[in-house]
Amino acid sequence: MSGVWVGIDIGGTKVLAGVVDAEGRVVRTSRRATPGRRVEADQVEAALTRALHDVSGDDEVLGVGLAAAGFVDATGERVMFAPHLPWVDAPVRAMLEERWQVPVALENDATAAAHAEATYGAARDVDDAIVVTMGTGIGGGVVLGRRLHRGWNGMAGEFGHMQVVPDGADCECGGRGCWEQYSSGNALVRFARERLGSGPSILEDLCGGNPAALNGPMVTQAAEEGDLLAHEAFGHVGDWLGVGLANLVAAFDPARLVIGGGLSAAGDRLLEPARTALLRSLVGAGHRRIPPLVAAQLGPEAGLVGAADLARHR
């Protein structure tokens, strides 16, 4: 029997737990469905406990890092709000530490992923990096001087809700014109749905002619098969990605830009139009070094890797 460090990434749909070694390698994982927002907090904590037991087995747990999809305060003690979980200003770290009787570290999921990429992944060889996670929406993290920059409230990196279009598209946050309304998984699908039927497209067959049935994996599959509409959708989302990144480069002047999350699997199909738009949109682009724009290296396990590492060094 030996001691292990565990990372758990909890989002709107899944609880992904993993044992992570000292080199950031994931030894084994467990995946469960998230109970949802309309349940008692104790049911969520029970699901986390089951996931922890799944991966730890008979090993002693030395500590757990929790990457939560929500606002985590600057002290790493409380989840202030989580759109898909029942926690509101909840002392999650202390509750779980009492329940599990092991040290617990709490972090926002995208910030934990940024830490992982800066420590073991695509930004491990630079001091300053911006990590943008693209899934249903946009999250991210800021690494300055090889340290996470959490901000005054602990909420730095909420890039998805920067306004890029005044009086633009309505956003779920209550604002308008937010970046993630133009560059995200939802934006990719919306673009394709709105143009379905405007010309021949593999997407018609994939969704059975029903735009409401169209989803992100279908757009990705169609793009891989050379579908023009799917390529246009990635080009549109990539272009807006570059516009938003130009704002982040102007603000932070990082040495590297890292794109993670599910949409990053599209690779250069997404990143090439983003690089073009970044050059076009960045002030003084001809008189400065442009940070390389690269895909994340740790994939969907980045959040749990970062959380486990933060627990190890808590």
How far, CA to CA in Å, does 260 sit from each of 5, 106, 310?
23, 20, 19
**Residue of 104, 126, 107 whose CA lies nearest to 117:** 126
Q: pTM of the entire structure?
A: 0.91
Contacts of residue 227, Cβ cutoff 8 Å, sequence gap at least 6: 201, 202, 203
Give the per-residue pLDDT at 33: 85
Give the per-residue pLDDT at 246: 97
Give the per-residue pLDDT at 37: 63
Numbered ranges of CATH 3.30.420.40 in the chain: 3-115+301-312, 124-296
Judge contact between 134 and 264, C-beta under 8 A: yes
Per DSSP, 136 falls in state: S
Q: In terms of CATH architecture, what is 124-296? A: 2-Layer Sandwich (3.30)
**Residue of 257, 261, 276 whose CA lies nearest to 135:** 261
CATH of the structural domain 3-115+301-312, one choice from 3.30.470.20, 3.30.420.40, 3.10.20.600, 3.40.350.10: 3.30.420.40
Residue 198: CB atoms within 10 Å: 9
Stretches where the chain sits below pLDDT 50 are 1
* Amino acid residing at 277: A
Give the per-residue pLDDT at 117: 97
Where would I find the H helices in 130-210?
185-195, 202-206
Give the per-residue pLDDT at 283: 92
Alpha-carbon span 252 to 46, nearest angstrom: 40
